[in-house]
């Protein structure tokens, strides 16, 4: 672990939040390219799996938490909801997202704004569906963030979480370990100019309580009917639960 990472991981909640925000502000302009390039484009497939679940739920109002540059919010428009709101703490990620939404002429449907997942600026029971893609891992206080999401969901509303996990079976476990510890930080550093962002990524994935551990936390927070499904041999997983 680098000094920078140790610093980031050792920080108490608010300090971590500020660091995470700065990190995403720094890489915002290159984030989309890096995302697709470093995942060999598999992230499109993963987001489409989320879209299938969204379509099946037929939500009218959608909240995309940690929306970043808005990819999942934009994709979710294909489920024909009446409104989509995306929130993120990084203003630079949001700027990129707002431009994309305008270019796609979706600005009357999708609103992106700055807010903290742990203190959502919405009334109780507002949304039919909430989703977080590659965001919960970065929350400073995971349970606080999940409880906030539950608060703003309608009764019977759905939470969908897409997050990296660690493949558990040979040979994917070893291959992924090598890729995420060596290749990913090296490319990330060259392309993004921010070495901390892509060394932080594998460390934060390692620390993230994946699979049953995550549904256990969802249960503790009060979500019902929680389920998880591994994607691409466990490189990522989708979690769902209902309020």
Ligand X SMILES: C[S@@+](CC[C@H](N)C(=O)[O-])C[C@H]1O[C@@H](n2cnc3c(N)ncnc32)[C@H](O)[C@@H]1O
- Tell me the C-alpha distance between 68 and 61, whole Å: 19
Interaction of residue 134 with ligand X, rule CB under 6 A:
yes
What is the CB neighbour count within 10 angstroms for residue 127? 26
Stretch that binds ligand X, among 102-110, 130-138, 207-215, 217-225 (CB under 6 A): 130-138
Give backbone dihedrals phi and psi of 40, rounded to 5 degrees, phi first. 55, 25
User: What x/- string results for residues 85 through 114 when contact with ligand X is judged by CB under 6 A?
Assistant: --xxxx--x---------------------
Residues within window 31-60 making contact with ligand X, judged by CB under 6 A:
35
Q: Which residue is nearest to ligand X (CB)?
A: 68
Closest listed residue to residue 138, CA positions, set 186, 225, 204, 84: 204
Minimum distance, C-beta of residue 71 to ligand X, in the bound complex (Å) = 5
Q: Which of 8, 24, 228, 236 binds ligand X (CB under 6 A)?
A: 24
Minimum distance, C-beta of residue 47 to ligand X, in the bound complex (Å) = 7
Interior CA angle at 211 toward 76 and 54, to 5°? 15
- Tell me the C-alpha distance between 108 and 18, whole Å: 31
- Tell me the C-alpha distance between 164 and 26, whole Å: 21
Minimum distance, C-beta of residue 94 to ligand X, in the bound complex (Å) = 8
CB of 238 closer than 8 Å to CB of 160: yes
Q: What number of CA atoms fall less than 13 Å from residue 46's CA on the CB side?
A: 29
Minimum distance, C-beta of residue 190 to ligand X, in the bound complex (Å) = 19
Q: Which of 67, 158, 192, 215 binds ligand X (CB under 6 A)?
A: 67
Interaction of residue 135 with ligand X, rule CB under 6 A:
yes
Which positions touch ligand X (CB under 6 A)?
Answer: 17, 20-21, 24, 35, 66-68, 71-72, 87-90, 93, 116-118, 133-135, 138-139
């Amino acid at each position: 672990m680098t000094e920078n990472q140790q610093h980031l991981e050792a920080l108490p909640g608010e300090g971590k939040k500020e660091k995470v925000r700065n990190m995403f502000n720094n890489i915002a302009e290159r984030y989309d390219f890096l995302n697709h390039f470093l995942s060999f484009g598999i992230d499109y497939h993963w987001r489409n799996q989320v879209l299938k679940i969204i379509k099946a739920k037929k939500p009218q109002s959608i909240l995309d938490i940690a929306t970043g540059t808005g990819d999942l919010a934009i994709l979710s428009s294909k489920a024909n909801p009446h409104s989509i709101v995306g929130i993120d703490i990084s203003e630079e990620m949001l700027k990129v997202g707002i431009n994309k939404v305008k270019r796609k002429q979706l600005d009357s449907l999708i609103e992106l704004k700055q807010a903290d997942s742990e203190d959502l600026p919405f009334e109780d029971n507002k949304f039919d569906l909430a989703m977080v893609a590659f965001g919960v891992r970065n929350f400073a206080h995971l349970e606080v963030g999940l409880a906030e999401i539950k608060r703003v969901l309608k009764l019977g509303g759905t939470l969908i979480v897409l997050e990296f996990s660690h493949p558990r079976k040979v040979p994917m476990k070893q291959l992924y370990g090598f890729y995420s510890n060596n290749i990913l930080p090296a490319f990330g550093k060259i392309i993004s100019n921010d070495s901390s962002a892509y060394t932080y990524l594998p460390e934060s994935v390692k620390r993230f309580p994946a699979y049953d551990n995550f549904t256990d936390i969802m249960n503790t927070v009060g979500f019902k009917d929680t389920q998880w499904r591994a994607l691409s041999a466990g490189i990522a997983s989708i979690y769902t639960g209902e309020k």
